[in-house]
Structure 1
Amino acid sequence: MNLAAKLAILADAAKYDASCASSGTDKRHSAGAAGKPARGLGSTEGAGICHSYAPDGRCISLLKILLTNACAFDCLYCVNRASSNVARARFSVDEAVKLTLDFYRRNYIEGLFLSSGIIRSPDYTMEQVVRVAKALRVDHGFRGYIHLKTIPDASPELIAEAGLYADRLSINVELPSETSLKRLAPEKDLRAVRRSMGGLRSRIEEAKADKRAPRFAPAGQSTQMIIGADGSDDRAILGTSANLYGSYRLKRVYYSAFSPIPDASARLPLAAPPLMREHRLYQADWLMRFYGFSVGEITEAGGMLDLAVDPKLAWALRRRDRFPLDVQRASREDLLRVPGLGKTVVDRILSARRFRALRVEDLRRMRAPVEKALPFIALADHRPSISLLDGAGLRERLAPRPRQMALAL
């Protein structure tokens, strides 16, 4: 099989992995210091690192491939499982390195996202993945972004070596609960995943604490959960995410809506979940990490997120007794809970209100989404009526139209 045919198979096989962002690493480039020659190849600086997006919104600026889609495991939700009848291919280490360099030189990519099916054993697979990253860094001086998907059952020494060459490492938990993982992916061990995450956290923190230590995965670690392959509700999914953030200091949890696969098991759902559910989970995740919301506050009584409106607006509509909020006196924490007000706008409000009483036009100049926020705030020239806050039509008025929802996705 020629290289182009392999690429077609192995790039397509990698499309189900959403956790390939490129943010958070050290800034590096190939230019040398003043008066000195350039060192290495590639860069992690500038907007170009995430310059291209797929129709569904996922970033494709990294060369995103599997080393092979042949896998010894038989995870029922995976198109590359051992019992699948898809076409198989495998890159050699040299082929993966050549592709990365060729794509970079053509200005198609700024880095590499590399994962793999399990070949022979976890240690053998991890060794092959590390060899690609090492060859790029050591043999070719590649200074672009590298994200490696690690194999949980691989030896700690191999995973530790991977962190010396990668900007980010990730280990997918795949499903929100251990019960679901045992039912759909019996060869995978959640305890092994968590052990590996714990080991990565320790090494990342040690490298940051000791400035003399070699760089180790400076962009941290991430993981991914498949949404809709089992019966877990959004509360369970977000609860797992909150636990992972707290226990292992992950940079990101990625959510990937389950996509029905050929010759699927009867234990899997027949249809994919709404893509809007994935979108709402990302919004809820953001509220937990940056806005001080707890899992219990975000989810509805039934454990699911409201697909019609964003999680912050849904929360505010359930807590109308807390509004309207006086913008002139409210704390930063309370202002961050107002629909439409993000961190940047809130910081501008806190700075400006020290000098004058704020009005609607002031918020417009701050580029706040005024129409969304006004029902929940009081300003010098605006106070919403009680009937507006209590009115049954407020949700319908603030909910995005179908075209706006499509654009959001």
Structure 2
Amino acid sequence: MSHRREPSVKETLDASITETNDGERSLNNYILKDEIGHGAYGTVSLAIDKETNTKYAIKEFSKSRLRKKDKANYFRRPPRGGMRGARGRGRGGAIFSNQSLNDPLYLIRSEIAVLKKLNHKNVVTLFEVLDDPENDSLYMVFEMCEKGVLMDVSINKKTTPFSDEKCRRYFREMVLGFEYLHENDIVHRDIKPDNLLLSSNDVLKIVDFGVSEIFTKGNDLMKKSAGSPAFMPPELCAADHGQISGKAADIWSMGVTLYCLAFGCLPFVKDNIIDLYDSINKDDLEIPNNNVDPKLVDLLYKILEKSPEKRITMPEIRVNPWLTNNGNEPLISTEENCSEMVTEITEDDLSSAIKTISVGGVFAVIGAVNKFKRLSRSSHSASESDLAKLKAIGDSENSV
């Protein structure tokens, strides 16, 4: 399988929004159309290039919201062992200066530098970064995934499951995409159908690297939680959980996503966030349909294994009988899948990721307190004692 050539990411530091009398808004050469998504830091809009008529997805970020995160001191520790290129130089790596550790812009540059380096068929492409120096917005221009999210499913919403053939097809693409990330020392940490989009030609694209982590080769241990509670592994659903394997956590979330595709619902569903965590930790996996390929059931049990040490690994998944259709449809080799490896992220990459944008907040981290507030709003039945327990989990994650 050949991957696309690495795109050249354009950096535009003098972006501006204009509006015509009939209300049409433009960002430089892009006509901004309907809003197609909304997140903690801003919105995602459909955009059309005036010159080529090509469709893009433009993600807009609010600098003031980022600054608020900064003021609340929602900082994470630097990635374990530093960024790529700092291997073998001790914890933290030589490229982390005291100034960069206290500079929220550094974290933003880091993520954009990573996005520039990713080059895989099943990972979304970043084309351009724009700054509007006179206003509150920073923009990132991504390839458009016209068919939208892989599946619309949540705690409160069931949907029509996919056929076995369709499940296998999309899960194979997930495996190739996340194997590529893991081989490049990147864990996603927020795998769910919402973050898996489909292109116009039905190719799965991994998106949203907002809470991803880069780790030193051979050491994917991390402590802080990230992602959506219903997709979190058991090892993150307890106070004082200590360090956990980022790769194993990603694999659990892949399993929850596969379960959604196969059955149109989540494997662990509770109204209360604390009960949900307890369910993920303690309840047995239930298969809601007796008419399921036993090999798929076996794979789900191996992926949704409570113990991360016993959980199936990526090399084992890629040769699984269900995924390979009893060996008749093997995946391409890991070597071929990861042939276009991420090059080392250097000091120059970080300094040039966004050259002059002045942003005072954190792009790559959603603070635990903010997450707890959001979760408590969505879990109306949570008691004060439940929320106190939840805060205890957060406190344990924030301790260094």
Q: Shorter-chain TM-score: which interval?
A: under 0.3
Question: Higher strand fraction: Structure 1 or Structure 2?
Answer: 2
Calculate the TM-score normalised by the size of structure 1.
0.25
Calculate the TM-score normalised by the size of structure 2.
0.25
Q: Relative contact order, CA 8 A, sep 6+: which one is greater?
A: 2
Question: Higher helix fraction: Structure 1 or Structure 2?
Answer: 1
Structure showing greater Rg = 1
